[in-house]
Chain A
C-alpha cells in the first residue's frame, strides 16, 4: 500500500464512519444545550453540565488511551488505523462538547487550565494530521530512493574526489575544499535541523568562491569546472540530506507538544474534577 493510501485511510476509514458518529454526538449535545434552559446561568453544574462533563472526561481518557493502544503492536495495524480514525474525529468533537460543558465560562482557574490544555492538545493534533498528510510524501520525494547512509557515503566520496582534484589548484581553492570536506555537517542543533538555512555551510562557501572568483578560469582549466560540478553535486546532496533531517524533525516535533499537553490535560482534568467536588 502506498504512503498516499495509508494517509487517506486513517481519515477516510470506512467512508468517514467515525466522522459521522462524531458529528452525530456533537449534534445531539448542541441540541440538548439549546433546548436546555437552566433557571440560572448555563454552567457545568446543571444536570446537562454534569452530563456533558462526563462525556468530555470519558472522551479525554479514551483519547489518551490511544497512546497505550498505539504500543500494543501485537493487536495488528488495521485495528490501529481504526483507532486513529476514531481518535481524530472524537478528538475534534471533544472541543465542541467541552465548550458546551463550560457554558462559555472562562477564568483564571484550574478549570480553564484544563479547557485550554484540551484546546492546545487538539490544535497540536490537527497540526499532526496536517503533517502526516503532507510530509511522508515529501520525504519520499526528497530522498529519491537514497537512504541517509547512502547520501552521506556519496558526500564523503565526493569529498575524496574534490580533495584529489584540488591538489594541483591554487592554495585558496585547496583550503576551501579542505574546509568543506572537514567541517561540513548534516543536522546540527535543533534550530539548524528545523531550518537548515541557518547552517553556515563551508561547502556552500567553497562553491560560492569557485563560482565567483574562479568562474572565468573554467574555460582554460577543466579541473576548475569539474570541481564546480562536484561541489554542485555535493551541495545538492547536502540539501537533500538536510531536508530529510528537517522532515524527520517535523514529523516528530508535534508529538513533543501533543503528548505532553495531553498528559498535562489528564493532570488538569483530575484537578478540575477534584476541585469541583472538594469545594462543592
Chain B
C-alpha cells in the first residue's frame, strides 16, 4: 500500500501550516516511537509500536497494538476502518484522513503533533516516587547498624566487663555491681548447675584466665576431697594426674552435664577390668542386672583390728558380725509380742529401736537407755528397788553397787535376808548407836559393802545379767571377768552408699531378714538379688533404672588429690 503523509509542522502567521509531504510504500504502515516503524513518532507518550494501518480489499483498517488504543472521531477504539474525513487522536498526535485519493494515488492524511509534551509529564514524575532505595536506611546502612550493635553487645561490652572487673573477689559476696560488670553474662552458654548457680553472674570466679580452660585449682578451692579413682601407684592406668576436671564435669548445661551418671562411663573399664588393670581383684560388671554379689566388710579380729570381706549369698561362708553382743531379732519380733516385766505384752516393730536419722539416709545408733532399759532393767538389790547399775562400763557399775551397799552400812537399814532381825540390831549397834565412828568400824563397813558388791557382780545380777546381752571375757591378769568391747559397724559395704529414705515405704523385713535371725552374729544385709528385684541397669524397661553412681562415687575421698 501507499500512503502520503502531510506533516503539519508549524502554524504560520497566516493561519496555515508549514508542511512536509512524505510518501511511504509498504505492506502495512506502522506508527510508533520505534525506528522500525514506517511513521516514526518521537513523543515519548507514544509506544514503540502503537498503531498499524493495513489494507484489505481496498479498505483501510486501523489496529492499535498491545494494550494501547486510539480515538477515532472522539470514540476510544482499538480497531476501526477509516474513510476520508476521519479524525484520529493517537496520543498527542492528531491524524486526519483527506479525500485526495485520486490525486495522490494512495491514502492521504495529515499528521500533527498537536499536544506537544508539556509540563504534565514532568510534574507527574516529580510528584511520583517510583524508586525504592531505602527502608529508613539503605541495605548497607542496616547491615552496619545490626553488626555494630551485635559486636558491641557481643564483644565490646563483655570484654570491657572482663578487663574492668576486679579479680579475685569473694564469689559469695552479693554486693551491688555495676550493670557493665554483668555484660559478660551474654557469653554464658547455658544455665548453671544448681550447685554453682549462686556465683553464676561472676564468670571470673571460675574463668580466671582468658582463652584458657577452667583450671583444676579453681575447682579444688572448694572440692578438695575429690581424690583419685584408684590408687595411682597400684593402678597407673586409672591415674587422674594431668586430667582436667572439666573433661568430665561440664558446667553450663544445667544439672545434666555436671556429673556423668551414665553407666557406660564406668563399664568402659569395669566390664572387663583385667584388660586395663590386670592386678585388680574387682569383679567385672556391665550393668546393675549383672552386678556381682555384695561382700560385707566385717571385723575379723578385734585385737589387733583386722577385717575380712565375706560374700552375702546365703552360702556356706556365712558372714559373721563380731559385735560382741548377744541378741535375737527373732525373739524380739515375735508375732504376739514380748513379755514386759510388769506382765503385759508388747508387740515390737523394727522402728521401736531403729529410728532414721534426720536426713533419713541411715539409722540412729541403738542406745540401751532408750531402747532396752524399758524391759531390761539393771536393778541388782531387792532392798534398793530404785537403784539400777549405770550402763556405762563395768568399773562404774562396780563403784555404783559398792556405793549402794556402803550407804546401807552407813544408814544401818540393811536387812540381812536369812537372819534379818539379828543383823539389823548388829548394824545399828555398829554404826548408828555410837557417838563416834571408829576407824575399825569404818573399815568393817566398807569391807562389808565391797564384799556385797563382789557378791552381786559375780552373781545373777552381775556377770549373768551383763552376759545376757554382752560377751563376757575372763581377764587372765586380774582373774576377774569383763565385758568384751562392743563393735557395731556403721557400714558393712563401705565402698557404696545407701539411702534408706527413698525406701521408707517398704517394710524393713522386705530386705532385712530379721524375723528369722536368732543370733547377733547374723549379718542382716540383703544380697544383690534383693536389690535386683526392683533395680535394673540404665536401660531397663521393667525395673527402676539405676546406674553405678546411684550407689558408688567415682572419686575416693581416702586417696590423695590428683595432680
* Residues of chain A having any CB pair with chain B under 8 Å: 37, 39-41, 43-45, 105, 107, 109-111, 113, 117, 144-146, 148-150, 152-157, 159-161, 181-190, 193, 222, 226, 229-230, 233, 241, 244-245, 248-249, 252-253, 255-256, 259-264, 266-268, 270-272, 274-280
Contact indicator B150/A161 (Cβ below 8 Å): no
- Taking a contact as CB atoms under 8 Å apart, the answer to whether B147 and A263 are in contact is yes
Q: How far apart are the CA atoms of A277 and B210 in the complex, in Å?
A: 8
User: What 1/0 mask marks residues of chain B from 36 to 73 whose CB sits below 8 Å from any chain A CB?
Assistant: 00000001111100000000000000000011110000
Additional A-B contacts beyond A117-B150, A271-B151, A279-B187 (13; CB < 8 A): A39-B262, A41-B253, A41-B254, A110-B187, A113-B150, A145-B66, A153-B117, A156-B123, A156-B124, A263-B146, A264-B149, A275-B154, A278-B162
Could you write out 17 A-B pairs with CB less than 8 Å apart?
A145-B47, A149-B44, A152-B125, A153-B44, A157-B92, A157-B115, A222-B74, A233-B76, A263-B146, A264-B146, A267-B154, A270-B151, A271-B153, A275-B155, A275-B189, A277-B211, A278-B162
4 closest pairs, A vs B, by CB?
A: A271-B154, A153-B45, A264-B146, A260-B142
Nearest-Cβ distance from residue B35 to partner chain A, whole angstroms: 16
Residue of B nearest to A105 (CB): B190
Check A249/B132 contact, CB under 8 A, given A183-B127, A263-B143, A280-B214.
Answer: yes
Measured CA separation A247–B213 after assembly (Å): 54
A275 near B158 with CB under 8 A, answer yes
Cβ-defined contact, A264 with B67, below 8 A: no
- Given A229-B76, A259-B143, A185–B132 Cβ distance below 8 Å? no
Residues A144 and B146 in contact, CB atoms below 8 Å apart: no
- Is B314 part of the binding interface, using a Cβ–Cβ cutoff of 8 Å? no
The answer to whether B145 and A260 have CB atoms under 8 Å apart is: yes
B87 interface contact, C-beta 8 A: no
Q: Which residues of B contact A181 (CB under 8 A)?
A: 120
Q: Nearest Cβ in chain B — how far from A232, in angstroms?
A: 9
Question: Any chain A CB within 8 A of the CB of B490?
Answer: no
Contact of B123 among A182, A193, A245 (CB under 8 A): A182
Within B292-309, which residues are at the interface with A (CB < 8 Å)?
none
Minimal beta-carbon separation of B137 from chain A (angstroms) = 9
Q: Which of B91, B127, B212 contacts A184 (CB 8 A)?
A: B127
A159 and B120 within 8 A (CB): yes
| Interface membership of B257, Cβ < 8 A | yes
Instruction: Determine whether B112 belongs to the interface, using a CB cutoff of 8 Å to chain A.
Output: no
Contacts A40-B250, A41-B256, A41-B257 given; indicate if A190 touches B135 (C-beta within 8 A).
yes
| Residues of B close to A150: CB separation below 8 A | 44-45, 47
Q: Are A40 and B260 in contact, with the CB atoms below 8 A?
A: yes
CB distance from B25 to the nearest CB of A (A): 28
Contact A256 B142 (CB under 8 A): yes
Q: Shortest Cβ distance from B210 into chain A, in angstroms?
A: 5
Q: B491-539: which residues lie under 8 A (CB-CB) from chain A?
A: none
Name, among B74, B154, B184, B212, the residue most crowded by chain A CB atoms within 10 Å (CB to CB): B154
Residue from B45, B68, B191 whose CB has the most chain A CB atoms within 10 Å: B45
Given contacts A226-B74, A253-B132, A256-B135, contact A279 B127 (CB under 8 A): no
Assuming the A-B contacts A39-B264, A186-B130, are A145 and B154 also in contact, with contact meaning beta carbons closer than 8 angstroms in the complex? Answer: no
From residue 245 to 275 of chain B, which have CB atoms closer than 8 A to chain A? 248, 250, 253-254, 256-257, 260, 262, 264-265
Residue with the highest number of chain B CB atoms closer than 10 Å, among A40, A109, A181, A252: A40
Q: Is the CB–CB distance between A279 and B67 below 8 Å? A: no
Known: A110-B153, A233-B76, A249-B132. A255 touches B139 (CB 8 A): yes
Q: A157-B92, A278-B210 are in contact. Are A260 and B143 (CB under 8 A)?
A: yes
Q: Which of A161, A193, A233, A263 has the most CB of B within 10 A?
A: A263
Partner of B253, one of A40, A182, A233: A40
Q: Contacts of B187 on A, CB cut-off 8 Å?
A: 109-110, 275, 278-279
Residue from B162, B191, B250 within 8 A of A107 (CB atoms): B191
Pick the most buried of A146, A154, A248: most chain B CB atoms within 10 A of its CB.
Answer: A154
CB of B24 closer than 8 Å to a CB of A = no
Q: Which residue from A183, A226, A268 sits with its C-beta under 8 Å from B150? A: A268
Whether B121 lies near A153 (C-beta < 8 A) is yes
Indicate which residue in A110, A113, A259 contacts B139 across the interface (CB closer than 8 Å). Answer: A259
For A111, give its contact among B151, B184, B189, B253 (CB under 8 Å): B189
| Contact present for B189 and A109 (CB under 8 Å) | yes
Q: Determine if A185 and B124 form an interchain contact, defined as CB atoms under 8 angstroms apart.
A: yes
| A148 and B128 alpha carbons, distance in the complex (Å) | 11
Instruction: Given A113-B154, A157-B92, A267-B154, check contact A39 B260 (CB 8 Å).
Output: yes
Q: Which residue of B lies closest to A106 (CB)?
A: B190
Closest to B127 in A: A185
Given the complex of chains A and B, what is the CA–CA distance between A196 and B115 in angstroms?
30
Which residues of chain A have C-beta atoms less than 8 A from B68's C-beta?
154
- Chain B positions 204-223 with a Cβ under 8 Å from a chain A Cβ: 207, 210-214
> Across the interface, do B188 and A146 meet the contact criterion of CB distance under 8 Å?
no
B45 and A253 within 8 A (CB): no
Asked if residues B151 and A267 are in contact (CB atoms below 8 Å), the reply is: yes
Q: What's the nearest-Cβ distance from chain A to residue B195, in Å?
A: 15
**A37 nearest in chain B by CB position:** B264
| Distance from A251 Cβ to chain B, minimum over Cβ atoms (Å) | 9
Query: Which residues of B have CB within 8 Å of A268?
Result: 150, 154
Given contacts A107-B188, A267-B147, contact A160 B154 (CB under 8 A): no
Q: Does B470 contact A (CB under 8 A)?
A: no
A144-B67, A277-B211 given; A256·B139 CB < 8 A = yes
How many angstroms between the C-alpha atoms of A111 and B115 in the bound complex? 66
B250–A267 contact, CB under 8 A? no
Residue in chain A with minimal CB distance to B33: A150
CB atoms of A267 and B150 under 8 A apart? yes
B417 at interface by CB-CB < 8 Å? no
Complex Cα distance, B210 from A111, in Å, reads: 18
Instruction: Please report the C-alpha to C-alpha distance between residue A249 and residue B130 in the assembled complex, in whole angstroms.
Output: 9
Asked whether A185 lies within 8 Å of B129 as measured between CB atoms, the reply is: yes
Report yes or no: B150 in contact with A271, Cβ–Cβ below 8 A: yes
B154 and A153 form a contact (CB under 8 A):
no
CA distance A113 to B256 in the complex (A): 23
Minimum C-beta distance from B287 to chain A (A): 15
Contact (Cβ within 8 A) A110 B154: yes
Q: Are A144 and B211 in contact (CB under 8 A)?
A: no
B207 CB to nearest A CB, Å: 4
A111 to B154, CA, bound (A): 9
Closest residue on chain B to residue A44 by CB atoms: B189
B6 contacts the other chain (Cβ, under 8 Å)?
no
* Residues of chain B within 8 A of A146, CB atoms compared: 47, 66-67
